[in-house]
Structure formats: C-alpha cells, structure tokens
C-alpha cells in the first residue's frame, strides 16, 4: 500500500523552467503520511520528453529494500499502490515459464506479468491497485486502476503537461498545474455529496475510471480501454431468465460461502498484523465469523460508538466480538472529537466530500492504526446483496404508488404543497416521527420523484440531496446526474432492484464509500482492505436471482442464511443501521458556531461561488428546524472548508 505521483512534459524535456527532481519530490511528499516507510524517484529524458515517477511506501508485503519503488525491469519502470493478494500463484505461473525473481514483492510480479502478457496481465490479478508503468522503449505511460475502484488515481492534461497521482493535492505542488474550479463538478457534488468519475473538482482533471487502462503516448494522445465490467453478470442473469441465472437456494449458499471464504482468506496475506472494523451488522459479522470460525484466523476488531441515541452500534459489535472471541477495542465519538476531525477533512479529502461518516471513519482508522497496519472493512455487501433502505422504499412504496390509480391524485396533492406548506405539515406531524428532521424536504422530493417515468432515473433522483431547483437558487451550473453519466437507461438487468444495485456499484461504491475509507485510512498510514469486493464475489452475486437477496421481507437473505451457520439468530436478526454520523445533533448544538462562521453571508458573498440569499435561507431554516435536510448544510460547510484550503 503506497501513494504514487508523476508527470510527463511532452516534447519539452529539455525546455522546462523548473527543477523536475524537486517538483517530483514535492508532489510525492504531499502524501508522505500515506507512505512513511520509504520514498523513491525516477526521471527519464528520451526523445525530447521528460517523464518523472515518484513513490511513497507503506510496507506491507516484502518489508526489505527489495520492495523499493520505482521498480525497473527491462525497459519498464513501475510505481504502484495496492496489493495483489494472489501474487504468489501468479508468480508461480510465471516461474513455470522460466522467469526468475529477486524479491517476494507483488510489484515485481506485476512488472514481469506485464512483460509476459501485456495489458491482459490484469486478468490474472485479484486485489486492489493503481499503477503507472513507463515503457521507455516505446515512450508511453500506462495507467491502470483495479476493477471496482478501491485505489484512487487522478490525471490532468493541459498545454503538453500530463500529471497523475493518487491524490489531487500532489497536483497543486506542480508549478504548471492550472488550478481552476470545475463548476459542473460542483453541481454534481451538491447533488450527491461526491463527484462521480471521471469528473473532478478541477478543470482539465479527471479520475481514471475503475477497471480501466489509460495510455498516453509521446505525442500526448490519450487512449482508454475497459478490461472488466460489473454489468456482465447482471446481463447474463437477464439473458438466462427474469429470475436470475442462479436460483437454487442451497446450492447458491454453498457456492457463495466457498467464494467468500477464499476471498476473505486472501485478504489476510500480509507481513504485518491485520485487524478489522466491526459494526455488528450482517456484513462485518459474517466477515469475522468466516475468518475466525472457518479459517481459524485471530483478529483484532475495532468499533466506533456514539453517545447520540439512534446512532450507536458499539453494544452490538461488542456482543459479536465476544461471541467470536476477537481481541476487541472500542472508542466513542464526542462532539469535541468531531470538531477536531472536521478540521482535517480538507487535508484528507482533497475534493469536496460530503459523506459525514468520513469523520468517524477517520477517527476509527486513527484508533486502529495504533495496533495494526492493515484493517479489513465489510464495504460492498449492501450494493451486492440489496441492503439499502432506499431500494425497498422505491420498490415497495414509491414505484407501486407511481403505477397505481392513485398516482395522479398523489401528484396533484403534492404539487399543491409549497415548502412553507410542507413545513406546516411537518410541524403538525413532528411528534409522530421522532428522529425525522427533514420531513419538509422529503415531501418536496417525493412530489418530483412521482413525475419521473423511468424507474432507474427515479432511483437516481431519490438519491440526490440538492435538487435542480436548489442548485439554480444557489447560482451553480446544473449538470447531468449519474444516471445519464453511466448510460443508466441502457442497463440490461432482469429487474429494477438489480438496476439500482448496478448503478450504486458503478458510482456510489467507488466514488463515495471507497473514497471515504481509503483516504481516512491512508491519512494515518493504515491499509484498508475490502474482502467483499473481490471480483469473483461480484461476478457471482450479480448472477443471483434477486429473490435470494431479498426474500419474504428479509434483505441480504443469502448472506444471512450463511451467517446462521456460525451465529445465533439473536445476534443476526436486528434492524439495519448505517454507519452514519449525527450531523444534525452536532451542528444544532455543540458545533453550531462552525456553521455560523463558515456559512456567513459576508463570507459567501466575498467568495462569489454561491448566492448569499439562498445559502442564508438554508442556514436559517436549519437553525429554526424547518424540515430542511441537514446534509445540505453539511455539504455547503464541507465545500467551504475545502475552498478555504485549496482556492482562497
């Protein structure tokens, strides 16, 4: 696990007015916290171009200097971030072809595999990665990102300068990086709380998309190719039958358990101690169950708790840890802890990033890093096995209402509701909905959702926070949502539930969930691993009948069926809770002054990004508890923190 950075000056290798070596070191070392164990650099001038590759190392496998990067083999030089968990078997296959190795490093395996098989070498790999290989003979740079998008990789191209890095802050250390705000990306951020790939907050800057190669040649021509698609399994299931390709329940459970066991066990490959984040939910409990009971692995487990009612899962996690005998530790997040962590957000997430659970994720990563260098998390189970509430709200309520004879009357009644009227309804019914503080915005969103014909577009719209009208009031450019960006209308799936999961797998998962964990963990030199995101699990789960994911009102049905073999039902059967931060409670009380300071009308007016009146009205509605979605204020606040660090 590492951090990488580099650049190419195309046909200007001998005609630059800055120190290339110093620039590369500055870029690389902006991410030193993620690779504190070693640093390396490579600079080449060939054919008039200049190529610079930099690396910061967090040593997990092959702890000796033989794992140093940049690493060279023949005419190839690599910088690489990630882990190839099955590198030993790939290495054995290469050895059977007569190849010799000087290290026990997966980096060397990637280089020799590329030399042996070219771009198709990635078909051999199970893991997470972002790498850059410079082919000195052909004067081209090959960038590649893992199938699901666990590891980050950004790129920039303008005026003959190509830059790449694991994090955007490295770009800002290059003297020729033209740092300009991309307003379309800002619109996406306000809609979702994250910016879907390939878009990026800066102009001329992009994310390398998951499961993709990006190749730039000596003339500056960029070519892209995709080597794997999460949609393939869903398409196979749709072609097989409307019920999914894999339908037999017992056989499916047995096969899935075998794939899970293999994938989970692979994530234990390490030359340093491994722990895991434990929430007490289905996914993390199953991960702990299989590793401890079936694989005989001893694990340290870590949990974050909250004092605010309705958010705390620590007691459940403690019971789970006790049952499986893990070495368990927990901490609680108080408002002061959140205050201290909030100040770190722009440094950790160098795009605006609105997922408020980034705060506890950072705190639990910092806590775990005191004991281990690697920690597993159970992300990916909800997207693959239909765990999110919104899937069922839409399928069982909104979509049925849309198709019913009552739909026209419901649309008409909701259209008559102005925001003020919606608040009056909310205020009268507040006592019947404890814990619901955004009732007004929910009614407004429902009225617009019922006007959307395409079910998947309906899901995409329901996933948004700021709607088009909100964005226009703020004075920000509207932009197409993730439904349009991913060609959602053409998703070939057997059912609506599968379409929703596929859209999340290709957007929300890599661009929100995985960003959150990767940046938080790497900021404290902790490697995060995601056992549920082995591509073999995704390929299998995508071919399952949806009835095996949601059956008789039970979500994650097949995962629970497996888990019942290892744990009593009372440990498994409880209401789902997401890993959410109490943003509403914090900023209505202890942290109120942070909003007041960073979202003041004077400050908003001075920056000139948002309309002060619209931002001020949102802040007033929040403080007066008028049913506004609290994440709208959080998104604006996080943007302001980011803007102050990167653009002011």
Domains located in the chain, CATH noted:
2-226 (3.60.20.10), 231-386+505-572 (3.40.50.620)
**Which helix (H) or strand (E) covers residue 155, if one does?**
strand 154-158
Q: What angle do CA 426, 431, 432 make, to 5 degrees?
A: 85
Instruction: Please give the pLDDT value at position 253.
Output: 96
Q: Per residue in 572-605, is it b (16+ CB within 10 Å) or e — as a string? A: beeeeeebebbbbbbbbeebeebbeebbbeeebe
Q: Could you report the per-residue pLDDT of 110-133, keeping only the tens digit for each?
A: 999 999 999 999 999 999 999 999
378: Cα separation from own chain's centroid: 13
Q: What is the mean pLDDT of residues 260-271?
A: 94
Q: Could you report the per-residue pLDDT of 9-55, keeping only the tens digit for each?
A: 987 656 788 999 999 999 999 999 999 999 999 999 887 789 999 99
Would you state the structure tokens that stand for residue 364, as one six-digit string?
A: 């639990």
CA distances from 33 to 3, 106, 347, 524 (A): 9, 22, 11, 6
What is the distance between the alpha carbons of residues 309 and 628, in angstroms, rounded to a whole number?
20
Of all residues in the chain, the percent with pLDDT exceeding 70 is 96
- Three-state SS string over 28-47 comes to HHCCHHHCECEEEEEEEEEC
Strand pairing partners for 127?
A: 84
What is the distance between the alpha carbons of residues 228 and 212, in angstroms, rounded to a whole number?
8
Q: Which residues contact 576 (CB under 8 A, 6 or more apart)?
A: 281, 282, 387, 389, 555
Q: Could you report the per-residue pLDDT of 350-361, keeping only the tens digit for each?
A: 999 999 999 999
**Closest to 265 in 3D by CA, of 229, 299, 233:** 299
Instruction: Please give the pLDDT value at position 553.
Output: 84
- Which of 291-305, 502-516, 533-547 is predicted with the least confidence, judged by mean pLDDT? 291-305
Instruction: Please give the pLDDT value at position 163.
Output: 98
Would you state the structure tokens that stand for residue 16, as one six-digit string?
A: 């630059």
CA distances from 75 to 78, 137, 187, 269 (A): 10, 6, 43, 30
Question: Are the C-beta atoms of residues 24 and 7 closer than 8 Å to each other?
Answer: yes
- Which of 120-124, 309-313, 578-582 is predicted with the least confidence, judged by mean pLDDT? 578-582
**Closest to 592 in 3D by CA, of 542, 637, 525, 647:** 637
What is the distance between the alpha carbons of residues 57 and 81, in angstroms, rounded to a whole number?
8
Instruction: Please give the pLDDT value at position 534.
Output: 98
2 is annotated as an active-site residue: yes
- The verdict on whether omega for the bond into residue 198 sits within 30 degrees of 0, i.e. cis, is yes
What is the distance between the alpha carbons of residues 347 and 52, in angstroms, rounded to a whole number?
24
Give this prediction's pTM. 0.94
What is the distance between the alpha carbons of residues 248 and 169, in angstroms, rounded to a whole number?
49
What is the distance between the alpha carbons of residues 498 and 53, in angstroms, rounded to a whole number?
41
Instruction: Please give the pLDDT value at position 115.
Output: 98
Question: Are the C-beta atoms of residues 149 and 210 closer than 8 Å to each other?
Answer: yes
Question: Are the C-beta atoms of residues 285 and 376 closer than 8 Å to each other?
Answer: no
At which residue do the structure tokens 């490295």 appear? 170
| Average pLDDT score over the chain | 91
101: left (phi over 0), alpha (psi -120 to 50) or beta: beta
């Amino acid at each position: 696990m590492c951090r990488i950075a580099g650049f190419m000056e195309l046909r200007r290798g001998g005609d630059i007015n800055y120190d290339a070596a110093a620039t590369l070191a500055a870029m690389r070392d902006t991410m030193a916290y993620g690779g504190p164990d070693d640093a390396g650099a490579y600079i080449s001038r060939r054919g008039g171009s200049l190529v610079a590759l930099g690396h910061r190392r967090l040593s997990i496998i092959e702890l000796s200097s033989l794992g140093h990067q940049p690493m060279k083999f023949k005419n190839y030089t690599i910088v690489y971030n990630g882990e190839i968990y099955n590198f030993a078997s790939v290495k054995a296959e290469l050895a059977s072809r007569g190849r010799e190795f000087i290290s026990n490093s997966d980096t060397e395996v990637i280089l020799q595999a590329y030399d042996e098989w070219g771009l198709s070498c990635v078909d051999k790999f199970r893991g997470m990665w972002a790498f850059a290989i410079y082919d000195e003979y052909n004067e081209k740079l090959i960038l590649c990102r893992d199938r699901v998008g666990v590891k980050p990789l950004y790129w920039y191209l303008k005026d003959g300068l190509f830059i790449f890095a694991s994090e955007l802050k490295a770009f800002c250390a290059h003297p020729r990086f033209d740092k300009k705000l991309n307003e379309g990306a800002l619109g996406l951020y306000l809609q979702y709380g994250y910016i879907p790939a390939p878009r990026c907050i800066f102009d001329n800057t992009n994310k390398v998309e998951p499961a993709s190669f990006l190749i730039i040649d000596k003339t500056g021509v960029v070519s892209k190719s995709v080597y794997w698609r999460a949609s393939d399994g869903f398409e196979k299931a749709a072609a097989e039958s409307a019920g999914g390709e894999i339908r037999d329940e017992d056989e499916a459970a047995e096969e899935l358990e075998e794939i899970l066991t293999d994938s989970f066990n692979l994530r234990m490959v390490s030359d340093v101690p491994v722990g895991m984040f434990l929430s007490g939910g289905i996914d993390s409990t199953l991960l702990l169950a299989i590793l401890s009971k079936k694989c005989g692995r001893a694990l340290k487990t870590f949990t974050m708790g909250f004092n605010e009612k309705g958010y705390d899962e620590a007691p459940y996690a403690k019971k789970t840890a006790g049952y499986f005998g893990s070495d368990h530790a927990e901490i609680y997040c108080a408002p002061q802890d959140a205050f201290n962590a909030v100040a770190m957000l722009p440094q950790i997430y160098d795009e605006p990033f609105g997922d408020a659970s980034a705060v506890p994720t950072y705190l639990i990563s910092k806590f775990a890093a005191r004991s281990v260098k690697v920690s597993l998390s159970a992300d990916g189970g909800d997207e693959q096995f239909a765990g999110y509430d919104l899937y069922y709200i839409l399928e069982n309520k909104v979509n049925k209402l849309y198709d019913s004879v009552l739909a026209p009357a419901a649309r008409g009644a909701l259209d008559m509701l102005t925001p003020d009227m919606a608040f009056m309804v909310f205020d009268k019914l507040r006592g019947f909905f404890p814990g619901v503080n955004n009732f007004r915005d929910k009614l407004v969103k429902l009225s617009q959702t019922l006007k959307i014909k395409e079910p998947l577009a309906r899901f995409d719209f329901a996933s948004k926070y700021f709607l088009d009208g909100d964005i226009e009031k703020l004075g920000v450019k509207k932009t197409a949502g993730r439904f349009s960006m991913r060609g959602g209308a053409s998703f070939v799936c057997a059912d609506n539930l599968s379409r929703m999961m596929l859209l999340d797998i290709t957007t929300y998962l890599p661009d929100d969930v995985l960003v959150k964990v990767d940046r938080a963990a790497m900021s404290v030199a902790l490697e995060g691993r995601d056992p549920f995101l082995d591509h073999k699990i995704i390929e299998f789960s995508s071919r399952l009948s949806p009835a095996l994911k949601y059956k008789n009102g039970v979500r994650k049905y097949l995962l629970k069926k497996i888990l019942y073999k290892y744990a009593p039902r009372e440990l498994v059967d409880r209401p789902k809770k997401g890993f959410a931060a109490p943003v509403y409670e914090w900023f209505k009380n202890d942290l109120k002054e942070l909003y007041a300071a960073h979202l003041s009308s004077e400050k908003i007016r001075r920056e000139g990004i948002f309309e002060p009146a619209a931002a001020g009205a949102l802040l007033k509605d929040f403080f007066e508890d008028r049913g506004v979605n609290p994440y709208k204020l959080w998104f604006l606040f996080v943007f302001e923190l980011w803007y102050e660090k990167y653009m002011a």
